[in-house]
Amino acid sequence: MPAVKGRRHGEHRRTAQIKGTIRTSTREKANAAADALGISVSAYLDALIDQDQVDATGKPLWGSKLGRDPELELRMTG
């Protein structure tokens, strides 16, 4: 059956998948914390991000403490 014209797809979804690269030690820490709480790592990350306090520009308040880690930065190609 063809799609209904004008219908937007995906708006009903309440979740989205994200992907990133983190240090192995950070992943182990997140896994341990999620296990201790009895929740998935996804639920743990969702709760952490939900709790972020941000300034008027949307920058997390802890952002000024964050240093750049060249090991984790993505290389631009093309």
Using DSSP's 3-state secondary structure scheme, residue 26 falls into helix
Quick: pLDDT tens for 25-59. 999 999 999 999 999 999 999 999 999 999 999 99
pTM (2 d.p.): 0.64
Looking at per-residue pLDDT, the higher value among 68 and 74 belongs to 68
DSSP lists the bridge partners of residue 60 as 54
Residue 5 in this model has a pLDDT that exceeds 70:
no
For residue 64, what pLDDT is reported?
Answer: 84
- Domain map of the chain by residue range? 24-61
% of the chain exceeding 90 in pLDDT: 58
Cα R_g (the chain), whole angstroms: 18
